[in-house]
Amino acid sequence: GKGNYRHFMEKEIHEQPAVIGDTLKSYIDPATRTVTLPDLGVDLGRIPRVSIVACGTSLYAGQVARDWFEQVARLPAVAEIASEFRYREPVLDPGAMALFISQSGETIDTLAALRWAKTQNQRIVSVINARESAMERESDGVLHTLAGPEIGVASTKAFTTQLAVLACLVIGTGRARGTLSPAREAELTSALIEVPARAAEVLEMDAALRAMAEEVAEARDVLYLGRGTAWTIAMEGALKLKEISYIHAEGYPAGEMKHGPIALIDEQVPVVVIAPAGPLFEKTASNVQEVHARGGRVILMSDKAGCERLAPLCAHTLALPSVHPFVAPILYAIPAQLLAYHVAVLKGTDVDQPRNLAKSVTVE
Ligand code: M6R
């Protein structure tokens, strides 16, 4: 049941500290700060590259993982839309890894892409939440997320637990390839171990997000901006808003805005900026300046220092707990979910069963 929550989505958002913690516990030893992966039927030290394939929110988890694979493990990686993958006829190295991500394990576009990848001699590894799915049966190796059943059509805890598993897979791959030092492995696993506690702090910011939602609920269009993995979180935030509140939203790389979408900016368009601390913060800050100069209403999600710096340019700021930049996408997904949730509640939509959508899409 929903317990004391109004919707399954709200309950599932609030379960995240617990289920991210459960998921991390099955791959990280907190005493040694090392990752242990089950046998995946593939030698992670020898694969030449990885193609990550999924749909919707699971694709966004894959897109974050793509950046992580390259930055942390120095493994060439691409993230592919499942319904486009095989029709594009990509050139795949025999013996490379094809990585499929799915909450349900039954999404037909992803399953068809998996079957096609097999014909191309790929090693098939899947990240799946549900148990005993078609994708699980057809994979060489499976990593499970421990999110528990996700009922709300909008994916929330499945996404953040996918990121938790993928972070561990990336660390394990970096170690197998010899591209990740033991000190760096300890640094990254320590950052992951902290996530559940920081996520619980973000859930305490619910009232501030409800206030921001009042402004967003009036809008016809909303722009979400970020750079690097925060760009992916911008797209995920925009997808959440579209699917449950029916407000048009666009997630865009902040630096690409001046090549077109900046023409959309006026006082009517809220611009949600995802700007965690890290090497890209200053670049994103200059994009905030561009939006502000054109009368745009910036809703900033950053840490305390970032919010203090940019407050004069923003209509609203949300100061999230400070975290290692590696894990920022996991943490920053949560306020994006809550913002969409509160907008949908204000709009009175059917939050758990939005129109035209199914929890698991089993038609091409
Ligand atoms: O079960 P899957 O993870 O394969 O589902 C993929 C998408 O259909 C799913 O993530 C969809 O985008 C969600 N409704 C987004 O909230």
Q: How large is the ipTM?
A: 0.99
**Res. 363 pLDDT band, cuts 50 70 90:** confident
Mean pLDDT computed over every residue of the chain: 97
> Which ligand 1 atom minimizes the distance to the CA of 359?
14
pLDDT at residue 316 tops 90? yes
pLDDT at residue 361 tops 90? no
Residue 128's φ and ψ, nearest 5 degrees, are -135, 145
pLDDT digits (tens, 9 = 90+) for 143-177: 999 999 999 999 999 999 999 999 999 999 999 99
* pLDDT score for 360: 86
C-alpha of residue 358 to centroid of ligand 1, in Å: 9
Q: Where are the alpha helices (DSSP H) in the chain?
A: 8-14, 16-25, 56-73, 82-85, 108-119, 134-137, 157-177, 182-193, 195-203, 206-217, 229-245, 281-293, 304-310, 328-347
Kindly state the percentage of the chain with pLDDT values over 70: 100
* pLDDT score for 30: 93
> Whole-prediction pTM value?
0.98
C-alpha of residue 7 to centroid of ligand 1, in Å: 18
Report the alpha-carbon distance of residue 65 to residue 170 in Å, rounded: 7
Q: Is 107 in the pocket of ligand 1 (CB under 6 A)?
A: yes
* pLDDT score for 15: 98
Average pLDDT over residues 204-212: 97
pLDDT at residue 234 tops 90? yes
Q: What is the DSSP letter of 150?
A: -
Annotated active-site residue 359? The verdict is yes
Tell me the longest C-alpha to C-alpha distance in the chain: 56
* pLDDT score for 53: 98
Residue 317's φ and ψ, nearest 5 degrees, are -130, 150
* pLDDT score for 281: 98
Report the alpha-carbon distance of residue 245 to residue 315 in Å, rounded: 21
* pLDDT score for 189: 98
Looking at ligand 1, which residue's alpha carbon is closest to its atom 12? 56
Q: Is 354 in the pocket of ligand 1 (CB under 6 A)?
A: no
Cα angle 42, 157, 254 (rounded to 5 degrees) comes to 85
pLDDT digits (tens, 9 = 90+) for 106-126: 999 999 999 999 999 999 999
Handedness of CA 255, 215, 316, 236 (dihedral sign): negative
Average pLDDT over residues 297-311: 98
Q: Is 162 in the pocket of ligand 1 (CB under 6 A)?
A: no
Q: SS3 for 297? A: strand
Q: Is 55 in the pocket of ligand 1 (CB under 6 A)?
A: yes
Report the alpha-carbon distance of residue 221 to residue 257 in Å, rounded: 15
Residues in the chain: 364
Looking at ligand 1, which residue's alpha carbon is closest to its atom 9? 56
Average pLDDT over residues 256-284: 95
Q: Which residues, other chains included, contact 170 with Cβ-Cβ below 8 Å and sequence gap of 6+?
A: 65, 68, 69, 72, 73
Average pLDDT over residues 6-11: 97
C-alpha of residue 54 to centroid of ligand 1, in Å: 9
Average pLDDT over residues 317-335: 98
* pLDDT score for 364: 85
**Res. 224 pLDDT band, cuts 50 70 90:** very high
Average pLDDT over residues 3-24: 97
How do 34-35 and 28-29 pair as beta strands? antiparallel
SS (H, E, C) 267-278: CCCEEEEECCCC
Average pLDDT over residues 308-316: 97
Q: Which residue among 361, 362, 363 is best mutated to probe the pocket of ligand 1, counting the most ligand atoms within 8 A of its Cβ?
A: 361
pLDDT digits (tens, 9 = 90+) for 245-269: 999 999 999 999 999 999 999 999 9
pLDDT at residue 1 tops 90? no
Q: How far is CA 256 from CA 58, 175, 214, 251, 253, in A?
A: 24, 34, 28, 11, 5
Q: Are 210 and 342 in contact (CB under 8 A)?
A: yes
